Amino acid sequence: MAGWRDHVPDAVPDLTIAVNKAISRFDPVTGGGRVYERYGDSYTGIMRNLCVWVALLLSPVACSFAQTARIRVLDRTVIQQDNSPLEFVQWRGSSAVIKNVSDKRIESFVFVCLVREGKTYSKVGRYDSSEGSIDPGKFTHVGGFDATPLNACRSWKGLLAVASVKFADEGSWVSPFINSVQSSSSN
């Protein structure tokens, strides 16, 4: 038979402990044992609470990992995107070497310069490719002496990233990350 002792709320653990101590001294039914436990004797109750706490603690980590797994900032100079058909291989001086990591021939591409403002990015520059096509697995050099996308972006204290790619088969790739970034009024 359940008594009033079985309905002590979980929200007052200190009161629960005090009630348990007081009752266990005078209760002949329990023989001085503990009458009420916060989680009960149920393994399920303990595991449920443990799962809730683990989920609460790991959810911000999982969310931030999901967001940062899509892009990586390399040497505070370029943004490498995991799903991009072009990959930055080298970015020294005023030039960058990029590689076609897709299985299609690339006809043209567009770089953008992004400036970070707090937790968001703004587009401040756009640079169309002037090079010819890039075969799958091959490299190309983007640069020169002064007026290169990399130098221009550095002057903004920004990050260079691939915004879009056009393939020889008339297909295209547009960066979902860059597409979500707002354009600056100075563009």
Tens of pLDDT along 24-56? 555 455 555 444 444 455 556 666 666 566 666
Q: Where in the sequence is the domain holding 52, given as residue range(s)?
A: 4-68
What are the helix (H) ranges across the chain? 13-26, 43-68, 149-155, 176-179
Residues 6+ apart with CB under 8 A from 138: 99, 100
Tens of pLDDT along 117-140? 888 889 999 998 866 799 999 998
Looking at the structure, do residues 91 and 158 belong to the same domain, yes or no?
yes
Looking at the structure, do residues 64 and 90 belong to the same domain, yes or no?
no
Looking at the structure, do residues 90 and 38 belong to the same domain, yes or no?
no
- Give the pLDDT score at 178: 86
Looking at the structure, do residues 53 and 144 belong to the same domain, yes or no?
no
Looking at the structure, do residues 89 and 163 belong to the same domain, yes or no?
yes
- Give the pLDDT score at 50: 65
Looking at the structure, do residues 15 and 76 belong to the same domain, yes or no?
no
Neighbours of 129 (CB within 10 A): 21
- Give the pLDDT score at 66: 42
- Give the pLDDT score at 158: 94
Domain boundary among 68, 90, 111: 68
Looking at the structure, do residues 56 and 101 belong to the same domain, yes or no?
no
Domain boundary among 68, 92, 110: 68
Token pair, residue 61, equals 């980590």
Tens of pLDDT along 139-172? 988 876 667 888 889 899 999 999 999 999 999 9
For residues 186 and 83, give the distance between their C-alpha atoms in angstroms, rounded to a whole number: 28
Q: What is the dihedral of CA 8, 12, 17, 22, to 10 degrees?
A: -60
Tens of pLDDT along 62-109? 444 444 448 888 888 899 998 999 999 998 878 889 999 999 999 999
Neighbours of 8 (CB within 10 A): 18
What are the helix (H) ranges across 69-182? 149-155, 176-179
pTM for this one?
Answer: 0.59
Looking at the structure, do residues 61 and 144 belong to the same domain, yes or no?
no
Domain count, the chain: 2
- Give the pLDDT score at 164: 94
Looking at the structure, do residues 64 and 127 belong to the same domain, yes or no?
no
Q: Phi-psi category of 27—alpha, beta or left, where left has phi over 0 and alpha has psi -120 to 50?
A: beta
- Give the pLDDT score at 7: 54
